[in-house]
Amino acid sequence: MALVPLESNPEVMTKFIHQLGVPDKFSLVDVYGLDGDLLAMVPRPVLALILLYPDCGKASAYTADLVTKIKDEGQEVSPNVFHMEQSVSNACGTVALVHAIANNQDRIDLDDGILKTFLEKAKDLSFSERGELLVNTASKIIDAHEQLAQEGQTQAPQEDAPVYHHFVAFVEKDGSLYELDGRKPFPINYGPTTKDDLLENATKVCGEYMARDPEEVRFTMIALVAD
């Protein structure tokens, strides 16, 4: 099974999360760069940062090395981090948005609906079980993904067309900055942060993604913010 990928479009993503039951006061906005002046333009508070990056050989090689290193050396991960597997091709945009929202339930009072029901059912499940639940029993979320994937500014690709980009989410949880990726077997703990410093610290990690592939320009950052 493969989905039509979501476009990295804040307007489309905002419509999507509102359909899932996120109140209207929350939205997604573009983050235009890494320097302080551009970060100062982003509305606060920032609850999560989503990065879209080119999923090329360099990125895949780095990810493989990072996962191996963490498996060998270990890391601390808060048990309160919600992390789920991406079990369907091209669902990374939806998984990133779910990660952003699920790890901010103390700040986002979800309306009754498909996402709130999914998160209640998924609360005590494993990484892989959550991914299966999204596909098998939360089909309305997938249906919303498919509908919104057609509403971007560019023509939506076919479901089986190769996709060269991947979404990941960055959140603060219990005082640490985490990267959440449905294709990585565990969250990546990047060290201490506060909610107020989330944007600055997360964009530093995004800058490292960019520095590993300096000839590539197809990076996009989008923040989940509250009005």
Asked if residue 1 is part of any domain, the answer here is: no
Give 30-86 pLDDT, tens digit per residue. 999 999 999 999 999 999 999 999 887 788 889 999 999 999 999 999 999 999 999
Query: From the candidates 83, 99, 165, 166, which is the catalytic residue?
Result: 166
C-beta separation of 200 from 34 below 8 A: no
Query: From the candidates 83, 92, 145, 165, which is the catalytic residue?
Result: 92
- For residue 165, CA distances in Å to 51, 53, 83, 206 come to 10, 5, 20, 14
pLDDT for 181 beyond 90: yes
Is residue 92 part of the annotated active site? The answer reads: yes
Q: Could you list the residue range(s) of the whole structural domain that residue 84 is in? A: 10-226
Buried b (16+ CB within 10 A) or exposed e, 136-147: eebeebbebbee
Domains: count for the chain: 1
> Where residue 136 sits, what CATH number does that domain have?
3.40.532.10
d(CA 192, CA 60): 26
Asked if residue 3 is part of any domain, the answer here is: no
Asked if residue 42 is part of any domain, the answer here is: yes
pLDDT for 91 beyond 50: yes
Asked if residue 114 is part of any domain, the answer here is: yes
H or E segment at 29?
Answer: strand 26-31
Instruction: Give the global pTM.
Output: 0.91
Asked if residue 2 is part of any domain, the answer here is: no
